[in-house]
Amino acid sequence: MKRRKSVKRADAAYLCHFRPEPEGGFTVTCPKLPPVITYGETLEEAQANAREAIELCLEVMLEDGKTLPSPDRDLTSPIDQLVPVALSSA
């Protein structure tokens, strides 16, 4: 069995869209990497699946001699993220 090589792109991230599905879970797409489409039953699972799908996509691109798209964010800069909260009606 061939062992998978890791794609090294330290301190970088690619923007992903996490779409909540009516039946539950999240579908994930990555605009700079159209082949990346994945799903997770929880947000955490969807994030893990997205990371794996992006790494695999980048690995295949490298093996095919393609240029990798530039990352969307340098992870040393601030990160904006929506944080859902419950509001009490009291």
Sign of the dihedral defined by the CA atoms of residues 13, 8, 63, 52, in that order:
negative
Task: Provide the CATH number for the domain formed by 10-83 in this structure.
Answer: 3.30.160.250
pLDDT tens by residue, 42-65: 999 999 999 999 999 999 999 999
Domain ranges for the chain, please list them: 10-83
pLDDT tens by residue, 3-24: 555 555 456 789 899 999 999 9
- Contacts with 48 (C-beta within 8 Å, 6 or more apart), sequence order: 40
